[in-house]
C-alpha cells in the first residue's frame, strides 16, 4: 500500500512547519480529515487520533475562550503519539499550548494560508489518490472516443500492434505492456503508465517507438478511467464464441467489476476496427441503446407471432 507522510503534504502544498519536526515521517493511513471541534469542548471519547487534524478559525476561536488549565488539557489530548499531523488553515497563529505539546509528542504542526474548506478539499483529493488500492496488469490501455479500453491477452497475441493501429486511427495511448491501476472513489479504476515506459510502445521486430514523438501530443494521455476490457485470444475452433452480444462477462480488478469482451484472433481480422466498434457499442449501451437485446426482442416477437398464426 502507498505511504504518505507529513513531509509529502508539506512539500506538495507548501505548508509552513511550526513544530514537531521529528514527526514529519509519520505515516498517514487514511484520507479522512478530522476537524476536532467537539474535542475542543472536551469530548475525546471518540477522538479519531489516527486522522490528519485540521484547525480552522472556528476551532481556534472557541479554544481562546477556554481557561488556561482547559487549554493545556485539550492540547495534551489532541497531540497523541498516533496523530500523523495537525494543519492550521487561513495562516492563523498556533496556540503556544499546541506548540508545546506537539514538541513533546513529535506531532508535526503545519500551517496553510488557504481557507479551511478549500484546504480540506485539496488534502482529501490528494490523499484519496495516493492511498487508493492499486495493482498492475499486463496489457495495453487506450482511450477510444472517451472510453478507456484495457486490452489484455497472452504475450505475442498482438496487443501492442493493435494499439499502434488504434493510435493511427486517431485515438490515444495511455499505457503499453504494464498498466498501473488505482481504485478511486470506491469503484472507479484509473489506469496510468509506469514512468519509465510512458508514451512508449514495443513492437516486435521494430523495437521501442515513442508515440508522442511520432504522432504528436494528441496521441497520448497520462491517465484514463477504465470502463471496458477486451481480451484477445487465438482462435479456437472448438470454442463457441458469442455471436449476438447478449452474454456479458465481467473482470474483477481489485474490488471493482468491469465489462469484459473476448475477441478471437486469426489472420484477416482487423482487430483495431473491431475494438473501435466495441468501444462505440459500449458507449451506445450506456446511452440506453442495446442493439443485441433489441434484435433478440424482435426475434422473439416474430416467433410468437408465427405461433399465433398456426392456431
DSSP states of 124-191 as a string?
A: HHHHHHHHSEEEEEESEEEEETTEEEEEEESTTSSHHHHHHHHHHTT-EEEESSEEEEEEETTTEEEE
CA atoms within 13 A on the CB side of 163: 34
Tell me which of 194-203, 234-243, 272-281 is least confident: 234-243
The answer to whether 155 is annotated as binding is yes
Distances (CA, A) of 81 to 8, 110, 149, 196, 259: 19, 16, 45, 38, 45
Domain 4-131, classified CATH 3.90.1150.10, yes or no? no
Percent of the chain with pLDDT over 70: 96
Using alpha carbons only, give the angle 86, 92, 93 rounded to the nearest 5 degrees.
85
* Res. 38 pLDDT band, cuts 50 70 90: very high
The answer to whether 42 is annotated as binding is no
Give the pLDDT mean for 138-158: 93
Fold designation for 133-295: Rossmann fold (3.40.50)
Give the pLDDT mean for 56-62: 94
What's the pLDDT at 311? Answer: 52
Give the pLDDT mean for 2-15: 91
Give the pLDDT mean for 87-112: 95
Which residues of the chain form CATH 3.40.50.300? 133-295
Which residues of the chain form CATH 3.40.1390.20? 4-131
Residue 6 pLDDT exceeds 90:
yes
The answer to whether 154 is annotated as binding is yes
Tell me which of 4-8, 69-73, 146-150, 294-298 is least confident: 294-298
Percent of the chain with pLDDT over 90: 70
Question: Backbone phi, then psi, for 134, in 5-degree steps?
Answer: -145, 160
- Across the chain, mean pLDDT equals 90
- Of 118, 115, 108, the C-alpha closest to 9 is 108
pLDDT tens digits, 208-265: 999 999 999 999 999 999 999 999 999 888 787 777 676 778 889 988 999 999 999 9
CA atoms within 13 A on the CB side of 63: 23
The separation between CA 6 and the C-alpha centre of its own chain, rounded to angstroms, equals 21
* Res. 189 pLDDT band, cuts 50 70 90: very high
The answer to whether 156 is annotated as binding is yes
User: Where in the sequence numbering do the catalytic residues fall?
Assistant: 138, 159, 177, 243
Amino acid at each position: 500500500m502507498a505511504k504518505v507522510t507529513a513531509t509529502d503534504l508539506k512539500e506538495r502544498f507548501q505548508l509552513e512547519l511550526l513544530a514537531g519536526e521529528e514527526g514529519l515521517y509519520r505515516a498517514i493511513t487514511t484520507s479522512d480529515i478530522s476537524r476536532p471541534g467537539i474535542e475542543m469542548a472536551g469530548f475525546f471519547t471518540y477522538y479519531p487520533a489516527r486522522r490528519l487534524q485540521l484547525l480552522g478559525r472556528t476551532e481556534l476561536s472557541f479554544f481562546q475562550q477556554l481557561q488556561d488549565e482547559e487549554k493545556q488539557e485539550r492540547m495534551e489530548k489532541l497531540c497523541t503519539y498516533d496523530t500523523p499531523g495537525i494543519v492550521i488553515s487561513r495562516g492563523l497563529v498556533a496556540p503556544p499550548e499546541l506548540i508545546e505539546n506537539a514538541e513533546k509528542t513529535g506531532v508535526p504542526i503545519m500551517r496553510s494560508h488557504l481557507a479551511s474548506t478549500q484546504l480540506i478539499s485539496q488534502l482529501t483529493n490528494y490523499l484519496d489518490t495516493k492511498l487508493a488500492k492499486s495493482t498492475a496488469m499486463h496489457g495495453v490501455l487506450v482511450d477510444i472516443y472517451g472510453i478507456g479500453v484495457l486490452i489484455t491477452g497472452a504475450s505475442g497475441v498482438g496487443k501492442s500492434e493493435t494499439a499502434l493501429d488504434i493510435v493511427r486511427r486517431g485515438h490515444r495511448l495511455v499505457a503499453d505492456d504494464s498498466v498501473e491501476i488505482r481504485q478511486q472513489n470506491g469503484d472507479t479504476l484509473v489506469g496510468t503508465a509506469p514512468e519509465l515506459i510512458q508514451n512508449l510502445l514495443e513492437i516486435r521486430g521494430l523495437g521501442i517507438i515513442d508515440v508522442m514523438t511520432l504522432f504528436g501530443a494528441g496521441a497520448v494521455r497520462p491517465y484514463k478511467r477504465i470502463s471496458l476490457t477486451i481480451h484477445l485470444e487465438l482462435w479456437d475452433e472448438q470454442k463457441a464464441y458469442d455471436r449476438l452480444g447478449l452474454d456479458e462477462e465481467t473482470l474483477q480488478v481489485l474490488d471493482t467489476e468491469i465489462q469484459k469482451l473476448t475477441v478471437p484472433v486469426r489472420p484477416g481480422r482487423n482487430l483495431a476496427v473491431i475494438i473501435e466498434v466495441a468501444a462505440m457499442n459500449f458507449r451506445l449501451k450506456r446511452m440506453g441503446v442495446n442493439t443485441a437485446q433489441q434484435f433478440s426482442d424482435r426475434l422473439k416477437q416474430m416467433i410468437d407471432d408465427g405461433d399465433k398464426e398456426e392456431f
